Structure formats: C-alpha cells, structure tokens
Amino acid sequence: MGPLSTWIGTRLGRWLSHERHQHEATPVVSRAALADALSPGDVLLVDGSTRISTAIKYLTQSTWSHAALYIGDDGAQAHQFIEADLVEGVRQVGLDTFAGRHCRICRPVGLSPEEIDALVAFARRRLGNRYDLRNVIDLARYLLPMPPLPVRWRRRMIALGSGDPTRAICSTLIAECFHSVRYPILPMVEQRDDTRPDCPGCVAEILHIRHHSLFAPRDFDVSPYFRIVKPALAPGFDPHAVVWSDERP
C-alpha cells in the first residue's frame, strides 16, 4: 500500500475501533470464573461493540466479532492473550481488555504440552506485526447502506486483504497458529473410495487445510474439533443452590 492508502487505512482503523454503546445485559460469568476456566491454547471469542464488529458480524452472521489466543501467565503478568488489534497490530494483552464483554472459550482437544508450547511460540513470533489495512478498507464498505450481500459471498469478503504475511486479522492470526501444529479448525473434507481389499465399499475422508485468510471468529465456535468450555459449569454447578429474587428488575 502507498503512503496515502496507509494514511487513510490508519485513520479509518481508528474510526472503526471506536466503541459503540449497546443496550445489553452484563455478562453473567465473572472475571474470576473466566480466568479460572482458561487454559493455554484456548481461543477466546468476544462479542465486540466497535464499528468494525458490526461489519464482521454482518459478514459472518455471528455474535462473535473478535478472537484472541490465551497464552497463560507471562512472568508477573497473569492471564495473557495474543490478539490482532485494528490499530496496534499483533499485541499481548491481559484479561481486563475483554472486561464487560460476552465471551466464549473454545478449547482444542488432544494437543500435547509440547504442541501447546509450539502454538504459543508461533503466536509470540508474530508480535509486532501489523493489521492488514486493506482489510480495514474492505470491511468499512459493509457499514454503508447497501443491498443485502448473498451469504455465499460473505466469507470471501473477509479475504480481500493484501495477503502480506506480516499483516493479520484476528482470526487469520489464530488460524495460522493452529495450522502450524497441524490442528484442524474447519478443513475441507474430500471423500475417496477406500481401496483396501478388506474394506469393500468403504469411503476414506481426506482433510485439506482451508487457507487461513478465509477463517472468521465464528469458525472456532462451530468447529467440531474445539470443545466449548463454560466457566459457570466448569467447577460444578448446582441449580438448586441458586438464590433467586422475587423482585422484578
């Protein structure tokens, strides 16, 4: 991108990052419960309230507009995440960054501690990379009045950026991290006839990695390879112990 496009993209990014007031209930899960439920390698999905969140929710038809990778404690800093911020680029942040937001924990299954370490190390090496400013301009168009966009085109709209590997959007960054340890998210499934003589009529499923630029935050939610962790249920939940008020809010 040229200097003018970069200047426009940077200022547009700041405008898109502006928080919008939303009339919504306060999240039921406390910060402490969320912190206790997290494990390194988890993907935290966030229901954002910025202008760009509106565009991402429209394109993906989902509640989730942002994703961050939980990396655990880092020295004196507890509960740290790596995320791709629209203005700051790929950065490390604490849990308080997502305070007051509806969140969902998506946990990969079956990865060894060594693979989790490799996943986190891959993400750390991306710290300082910049957000793809071409994606900023693309996404901004969907905040303007426009005819409804066919659903089959919406996912492709997220992949309109420059493709520069030193730039990232939040879900692209995390998809690359999991691809680096060959963990599936939403692979393309190819079915082939199984040629083994002892299994006539069997069909083999071959998984192909989908390009990382085509991933959206919702994909970690709908992926069959991530477990949804609900902090309120993790330590044990007894519905009979809930204290109800008879007063109406």
pLDDT number for residue 159: 47
pLDDT number for residue 28: 67
* Domain count across the chain: 1
What percent of the chain is predicted at pLDDT more than 90? Answer: 33
pLDDT number for residue 51: 63
pLDDT number for residue 16: 57
169, with CB counted inside 10 A (0-12, 13-18, 19+), is: buried
Q: 246 lies in a domain?
A: no
Report the CATH number that the domain containing residue 149 is assigned in CATH: 3.90.1720.10
Q: 249 lies in a domain?
A: no
pLDDT (tens digit per residue) in 41-50: 999 999 876 6
Average pLDDT over residues 55-72: 82
pLDDT number for residue 37: 94
Q: 172 lies in a domain?
A: yes
Average pLDDT over residues 225-236: 87
pLDDT number for residue 85: 85
Average pLDDT over residues 105-121: 97
187 vs 217, higher pLDDT: 217
pLDDT number for residue 238: 84
User: Which range, of 6-10, 98-102, 217-221, averages the lowest pLDDT?
Assistant: 6-10
Q: Please determine, for residue 172, whether its predicted confidence score (pLDDT) is greater than 80.
A: yes
Question: Which residue range forms the structural domain that includes residue 87?
Answer: 3-241
Q: 231 lies in a domain?
A: yes
pLDDT number for residue 82: 97
Model confidence band, residue 147 (pLDDT cutoffs 50, 70, 90): very low
Q: 247 lies in a domain?
A: no
Q: 248 lies in a domain?
A: no
Model confidence band, residue 151 (pLDDT cutoffs 50, 70, 90): low
Q: 193 lies in a domain?
A: yes
What percent of the chain is predicted at pLDDT more than 70? Answer: 57
Q: Please determine, for residue 236, whether its predicted confidence score (pLDDT) is greater than 50.
A: yes
Model confidence band, residue 205 (pLDDT cutoffs 50, 70, 90): very low
Q: 150 lies in a domain?
A: yes
Q: Which two tokens stand for residue 240?
A: 């009979």
* pTM: predicted TM-score of the whole model, two decimal places: 0.74
Q: Please determine, for residue 67, whether its predicted confidence score (pLDDT) is greater than 70.
A: yes
Return mean pLDDT, the chain.
76
pLDDT number for residue 39: 97
